[in-house]
Structure 1
Amino acid sequence: MPDVVTPEVRSRMMAGIRGKNTKPELILRRGLHALGFRFRLHDRALPGKPDIAFPRYRAVVFAHGCFWHGHGCHLFKWPSSRPDFWRTKIDRNREVDALVSAALLEAGWRQGIVWECALKGKTRLPIETVLAECASWIRSDAPFFEIKGSA
């Protein structure tokens, strides 16, 4: 199926998609800050430049977009245009996620992932629930945390 917009318009639309300061990330940052957590943003000294790093707790949190990281929820659907490009891109994102996760573990950091579907869409959870679970994990010593929308 051909694209409904011109290549120039599509290029401009794709260029407008941010990698930092996304809505899910801002929701998490505001909520966790209000709960008393202090953190660093996109710390270049850490593998993968995590969205939020909590040095005091040796923990990082990634706010993963369901499309860009190929999450198997209702927010992810393989695009019908340029399927080879998108499969390669999303598969590579998944590979990088695995490498970053291993590097963080090796460096002694705990990793949390909050999927976009936990904060948006028909399976979203109450924001207070997401923040409470994040806060509980940050204070714990569990090595890994993941929260996604209700199934």
Structure 2
Amino acid sequence: MGSWASSAGRRRNMQAIRSRDTEPELLIRRLVHAQGLRYRVGAKPLPDLRRTADMVFRPVKVAVFIDGCYWHGCPEHYVPPKTNPGYWSDKVARNMARDRDTNQQLTDAGWTVLRFWEHESPGECADQIVLAVGRLRRQRDAG
């Protein structure tokens, strides 16, 4: 039985793509950590949800996702594939639908979901994370 990939070269390329610890994730995590925040990496925010967030701040219920432009259908940078377009376009559409479902399930469970694109400024992303976590900590401590 043949591979699902369109060629051996494509298969090697796809296997080399990281699902975690990408450069944008590492940059943002480093900046957030430098501001004194601690978090879980690649963790499931909800035990029954078979999805992981890139960064999880459990005490204040914040889940952070840093989405790749291609895999999550960035409106600015997504370019439909030229090879095997039916398969890959459907794959990206399923990823986008899963992202929306994840956001909804986490929001319904009282979580704050922060999503960033890989092309966004790591400094700005880190600042938004620090602000959100700080605000939620103050609310929790005051309440």
Q: TM-score, normalised by structure 1?
A: 0.78
Tell me which residue corresponds to 2:134.
Answer: 139
1:45 to partner: Cα distance = 5.1
Flag structure 2 segments of 5+ consecutive residues without an equivalent. 1-5, 137-143
Give yes or no for contact 2:60–2:133 (8 Å, CA) kept in 1.
yes
Where is the helix percentage greater, Structure 1 or Structure 2? Answer: 2
1:67 paired to 2:70: yes
1:83-107 C-alpha deviation (Å, 9 max, x unpaired): 1111110100011111111111122
Give yes or no for contact 1:65–1:115 (8 Å, CA) kept in 2.
yes
1:19-50 C-alpha deviation (Å, 9 max, x unpaired): 11111111111110110001011223523211
1:134 to partner: Cα distance = 2.4
Give yes or no for contact 1:32–1:131 (8 Å, CA) kept in 2.
yes
Count of residue pairs the alignment pairs up:
128
Q: Sequence identity of aligned pairs in percent?
A: 30
Structure with higher RCO (Cα < 8 A, 6+ apart): 2
Tell me which residue corresponds to 1:116.
Answer: 118
Moved over 4 A (4+): none
Residue 84 of structure 2 is aligned with which of 79, 82, 85? 82
Flag structure 1 segments of 5+ consecutive residues without an equivalent. 1-5, 119-124, 142-151
Q: TM-score, normalised by structure 2?
A: 0.82
